[in-house]
Chains A and B, each alone.
Chain A
Amino acid sequence: MKTTSISAIAAIAITGAFVAAPAMARDEIQIKGSSTVLPYATIVAEAFGENFDFPTPVVQGGGSGAGRKALCEGVGENTIDIANSSSRIKQSDIDNCKANGVEQVMEVRIGYDGIVFASDINGAQFAFIPADWYNALAAKVMKDGKLVDNAAKSWTDVNADLPDQAILAFIPGTKHGTREVFDEKVLEAGCEATGAFEAYMAANGGDKKAAGKSCIALRTDGASVDIDGDYTETLARLDANKNAIGVFGLSFYENNTDKLRVATMSGITPSTETIAKGEYPVSRPLYFYVKMAHIGVIPGLQEYIDFFVSDDMAGPAGPLAAYGLVSDPELKKTQEMVANGGTAMGPLN
């Protein structure tokens, strides 16, 4: 009969634990979202846990969209407090939030992130303009005033000034926020510069959206490879394919400058300075979104937000900048907004 009594005791203990569970209040901040913002959020969370009497926040990755979705799941202790996002929240997210009772969401811009194009350290030096990337990777390019299938084999086919190297690019997969920026700031910009955009407009009867969509359609003959994993995977693929060019976040590049040679874009070398000045074209703002109903309920939430945007953290001399975040020139405004309890977002226009 020993076994039965043991299992009976175990069952009772477990049931008891469950009954006790809902009564426990959560005392740590829960954060989820973009894997681009994740390292910054962990740096702040770590420093926050060290310097304040509050527990260290728990930070999850999972992607910007997943974070915003989790934020909008509802109000209460079993939902997250902050969603990190490498792209701006969408109206559909806000509507979703409203539908689930999350009325007020505060938007906090923490700084900017650059996207860099880099190849193996021993490879050739590249100087790109967005049109080069469009002509190299797009499904159809302009030739003699007509849209034709892309047949470029080498970078010299695209631009005579570039090295004679076969076109092979590792770009972030479509689930990454980085891809959106690549599509918008590089491919669409190149599309317009080469005149392909107008040709698409004409072909689609002036439909801007359809033309934009055609602009970001990529060739499928293996010259462009989508990487669905992280930058570490891109780096490993680059290591195996010395002739390839990869797309990375600035902070990742800054941690691996001994392995990667960065290319210039429109003549500008990417760095925190050139991005802060707005010279380097391929950059994007990073955000986090706070569920305002949780401020004052989850201990330390207000302090965490204040701490995140403080000069000690997000300022130009802070640890986030040292890791590769481009400090926001308007950080002062954000600090004031946050210190005054924050303003909830209205509908996006």
Chain B
Amino acid sequence: MSEIPATTPLAAGGATARPQRRDIGIKRRYAAEARFRAYGMAAVGVAVLALVFLLVSILANGLGAFRQTFVTFDVTLDAAVLDKVGNRDPEEMKKVTTIGYGNLLKAALGTALDAAGVSTDGVSAKDVGGLLSKEAPAQLRNRVLADPGLLGTTISFRTYANGRIDGYFKGRVTMQSAALDSNVSPQQLELADRMREAGMIGVGFNTGFLFGPDASELRPEAAGLGIAILGSAYMMILVLLLSLPFGVAASIYLEEFAPQNRFTDLIEVNINNLAAVPSIVFGLLGLAIFINFMGLPQSASVVGALVLALMTLPTIIIATRAALKSVPPSIREAALGVGASRMQTVFHHVLPLAMPGILTGTIIGLARALGETAPLLLIGMVAFVRDFPAGPPEGFFDPASALPVQIYNWTQRADPAFVERASGAIIVLLVFLFFMNLAAIVLRRRFERRW
């Protein structure tokens, strides 16, 4: 941009000539800086836009999962149908399967609609029953088996509406789509509208989504995250118990006690390499060692935790070593100077000062482990699990699911209602990650010491 060449020779004997200013390219440099700022702002803008787009699409898709359509009606529990022997013995009553309860519910809903004066014209009895979730018979059966005294009485029964009806109330299913849909008819939707006017059907908060187990593809409305959240919690507890002590012990030794030689250099290189190994490799290792060699059960959270702990260890070791390194040598020298042993120095002075850094590193490692799916795929945790694991410690060995696994599972299912469920599960996972990262930031802010 410079118009005056920098090497213009001075005019000979030009006393009147103004002193030439050396061109130092100020304009050009300012322009470069302005450009660079624009690039930076564009980069930030793109990142923010992507984040907003992601959040908006997930929230728009997923918030519906926290609300669910429920049907409430009176059911008369006919003892002649549900307890054929008549001795109120739950063992005998178990012979009536959910199919029997389903028929009873279908009839009861028809009766209730008549009683409420809701016309069922144009809807067959089968389609009236189709408004209810296929989960409803199981709910009723469990309730009756838990309390056989209910037999012969009339109870008010609240259950999920079928996924398509739920979709209609949330705007996912329309009259047009229902006309083309083989699983729901416009007449059923009109009936649902009439039921809403009669107060028999309505949308409410869905606790089942957070605490219920997964459900098969026939009943997306009943699918919940309970086992996934519990499984993830079990794994995080075990990962913490396994990786924090080992990780901290290893880093203290390497940083404070180990001699500097080729062997420790080798270990250091390996730890840094391990931190970059793709997580699925740890899954392969887990399958080979923990399941095939050690004979631990498949699909159990303990195996998942072991694999994730191995994956988290390098992260924790690197963070811990960095935290230990950042404690100034003067602290160590002062402690040694007043006669503390090396171990006392480490445990009384260095480690407490390094603790915020260690904890931050640990939480970030755990957050990464919480979101992992790939290694769990190989150890059989990407599975349909419907029974809650027992309490710890036996529950660690029961089959369980995990949050990212549940999301992965739901995105593969055919019923469109699972799209909403998957996005809802992503929201739950994001909330967990947000709080873990928040904890890391708070710990750092509160306890960090600057030197």
A and B interact: yes
A residues neighboring B (CB under 8 Å)? 1, 3-4, 6-7, 10-11, 13-14, 17-18, 21-22, 24, 26, 28, 30, 32, 35, 38-39, 41-43, 45-47, 49-51, 53, 55-56, 58-62, 73, 76-78, 80, 121, 230-232, 251-252, 254-259, 312, 319, 322-323
Q: Which residue of chain A has its CB nearest to the CB of B385? A: A58
Contact with A along B94-129 (1 / 0, CB 8 A): 100111000000000000000000000000000000
Would A58 and B299 count as touching, CB distance under 8 A? yes
Q: How far is the CA of A41 from the CA of B299 in the complex (A)?
A: 17
Inside 8 A of A76's CB, which chain B residues have their CB?
295
Tell whether B183 is near chain A: CB-to-CB under 8 Å: yes
A28-B399, A256-B414 are contacts. A60–B297 as well, Cβ < 8 Å?
Answer: no
Tell whether B384 is near chain A: CB-to-CB under 8 Å: yes
Would B384 and A58 count as touching, CB distance under 8 A? yes
- Out of A24, A62, A78, A256, which one reaches B298, CB within 8 Å? A78
Q: How far is the CA of A10 from the CA of B416 in the complex (A)?
A: 45
Contact with A along B61-99 (1 / 0, CB 8 A): 000000000000000000000000000000000100111
Would A49 and B299 count as touching, CB distance under 8 A? no
Inside 8 A of A24's CB, which chain B residues have their CB?
297, 394, 397
Q: How far is the CA of A319 from the CA of B133 in the complex (A)?
A: 13
Would B241 and A14 count as touching, CB distance under 8 A? yes
Q: How far is the CA of A80 from the CA of B394 in the complex (A)?
A: 21
A3-B347, A60-B299 are contacts. A256–B412 as well, Cβ < 8 Å?
Answer: no
A176 → chain B, closest Cβ, in Å? 13
Q: How far is the CA of A218 from the CA of B154 in the complex (A)?
A: 64
Q: Which residue of chain B has its CB nearest to the CB of A2? A: B347
Q: How far is the CA of A306 from the CA of B15 in the complex (A)?
A: 113
Tell whether B182 is near chain A: CB-to-CB under 8 Å: yes
- Of the listed residues A58, A312, A322, the one surrounded by the most CB atoms of chain B closer than 10 A to its CB is A58
Inside 8 A of A28's CB, which chain B residues have their CB?
387, 399
Inside 8 A of A41's CB, which chain B residues have their CB?
384
- Out of B180, B248, B397, B414, which one reaches A121, CB within 8 Å? B180
Q: How far is the CA of A257 from the CA of B298 in the complex (A)?
A: 37
Contact with A along B170-182 (1 / 0, CB 8 A): 0001000110111
Would B412 and A257 count as touching, CB distance under 8 A? no
Q: Which residue of chain A has its CB nearest to the CB of B408? A: A61
Q: Tell me the count of chain B residues lying within 8 A, CB to CB, of chain A.
A: 56
Inside 8 A of B187's CB, which chain A residues have their CB?
none
Q: How far is the CA of A214 from the CA of B352 in the complex (A)?
A: 70
Tell whether B20 is near chain A: CB-to-CB under 8 Å: no
Inside 8 A of A259's CB, which chain B residues have their CB?
177
Inside 8 A of B141's CB, which chain A residues have their CB?
50
- Out of B138, B295, B394, B399, which one reaches A78, CB within 8 Å? B295
Closest 3 CB pairs of A and B: A7-B245, A258-B177, A56-B386
Would A254 and B182 count as touching, CB distance under 8 A? yes
Q: How far is the CA of A45 from the CA of B138 in the complex (A)?
A: 13
Q: How far is the CA of A136 from the CA of B180 in the complex (A)?
A: 29
A56-B387, A319-B134 are contacts. A45–B216 as well, Cβ < 8 Å?
Answer: yes
Q: Which residue of chain B has its CB nearest to the CB of A13? A: B241
Would A51 and B384 count as touching, CB distance under 8 A? no
B160 → chain A, closest Cβ, in Å? 14
Would A46 and B97 count as touching, CB distance under 8 A? no
Inside 8 A of A251's CB, which chain B residues have their CB?
414
A120 → chain B, closest Cβ, in Å? 12
B384 → chain A, closest Cβ, in Å? 4
Tell whether B217 is near chain A: CB-to-CB under 8 Å: yes
- Out of A7, A13, A60, A255, which one reaches B415, CB within 8 Å? A255
Q: How far is the CA of A59 from the CA of B386 in the complex (A)?
A: 10
Beyond A7-B248, A17-B396, A30-B380, 18 additional pairs, beta carbon < 8 A: A1-B347, A7-B244, A18-B296, A22-B296, A42-B216, A42-B217, A45-B384, A47-B98, A51-B97, A58-B299, A58-B385, A60-B380, A78-B292, A232-B414, A254-B182, A257-B183, A259-B177, A323-B217
Q: How far is the CA of A160 from the CA of B377 in the complex (A)?
A: 48
Would A43 and B397 count as touching, CB distance under 8 A? no
B178 → chain A, closest Cβ, in Å? 7
Q: Which chain B residues in 206-258 approach chain A with CB under 8 Å?
A: 215-218, 241-242, 244-246, 248-249
